[in-house]
Structure 1
Amino acid sequence: MARLKHLIQSLSAGLLTAGLLVVTVGPAHARVKPKDGVQAVRELRFDPQAAVEGTTVTGTVVLTSPAPAGGVSVEVWSNTSYGPNVSVPRWVTVAAGRTTATFPATVYSASTPSVVRPSAYLGASRATGKLIVVPPTFATGPTWVRHGAVTEAAVGIGTAPNSDGVTVTLSTGTPGVSVPATVFISPGSRGAVFPVTVDGSASLSNPGAITATWNGIEVRTTFYIGY
């Protein structure tokens, strides 16, 4: 515990000196958070939470307290340097006296349903939001899963009507890999997430596959297993 405390203090020395961080070391954990009274970003969210390729959704950054005179600029990153292409403004300004600001998030490409997690930064604080991106037609992911772990995958119905919600049936014949029998996409939504569980017996040499069925349509995706 003494070594852990020393490491955290060393890494955070500059921020501690500036009064920006509070570091708490307990019996089972170490926690770094913005110091009370220091402006921080608390939340990043998207509405709707699932978007089709070629559309734009609304992102919202939420601060821990109202912005001071002159406003506060929050840095935003899409975190999509590979795979899906989501564009967000580099900076979002929260007006004085406000705790929130909205911005556009445009999905330029999404060949396979995926979960992306853009981030917002302010000083030493960070918030990450989940956004499901899907192609215009019924499809399922993922293209890669982690060996011995659970990977978050997505399925999407594209631009098809969804007033009442839809249930998609899932299956896989890949040894050592399991998926839920069904996944429900909420009314009005374009997609949903589901877990892909890969145990230690799964082969790293051969690709696996997941089949999704909905409305009489069957689609199949091939994925690779890695560490």
Structure 2
Amino acid sequence: MKYLLYYLLIIFLNNSLRIFLDPNLISIIIYILITLPIVFRSRIGNIYNIQSSLLNGLFFGSTITYFTTMFSGLFGLLLFNPITNILGKILIVFISSISEEMFFRYILFEDIGRKFSIKYSLGITSILFSIYHMPIYDFTLFTNLIIFILPIFILGIMLQKIYIKYNLLTSIVTHFTMNFTSIFISLSASIYTAIMLIIVYLLSLFIVIIK
């Protein structure tokens, strides 16, 4: 599982370099690194019926965004972000959505799948996806955000299910739609937010399974 070792390298660089370099620069470097394995692949999964993939991705992403915004607003967990450098933020969201989905949903999942069943590969990939999003480099921030590791794990399962049931493009569009909303709104870092996200992601996972 060579890409699992590559993942560990990315985690190390992502957390160690942030101590010395600008976080935005590190993000760009990491996105480039997790996209590099695609260059050495002869194909990128099964992407068929592009229109259907786009519509399904928009549906899932919009559904998650709707429930998240509705519940967080209802319980006073919603925060509004200052509208600055919109184009730059959209570009980062676009790049991060594509690179993360290509690496976790396709490269890493397929690599782990050579050794384990789909069920175990799904679980392992989702755990790695959760760890990747944890700020290990900052102990204080890490302890504050550790409560979000479970919702991110469930989100990883949902995105992986979308990849398995539909295709890579659908999971990319879903991811992008969710991240696009984060340009304008964010959620308070509290246990109530984590619980709310767990409920929303479980509900969304159920919708993905039955649709």
TM-score interval for Structure 1 and Structure 2 normalised by the shorter chain: under 0.3
Structure whose residues are more often strand by fraction: 1
Please, what TM-score do these two structures have when normalized by structure 2?
Answer: 0.24
- Which entry has the higher C-alpha Rg, 1 or 2? 1
Please, what TM-score do these two structures have when normalized by structure 1?
Answer: 0.22
> Larger relative CO (CA 8 A, sep 6+): 1 or 2?
2
Structure whose residues are more often helix by fraction: 2
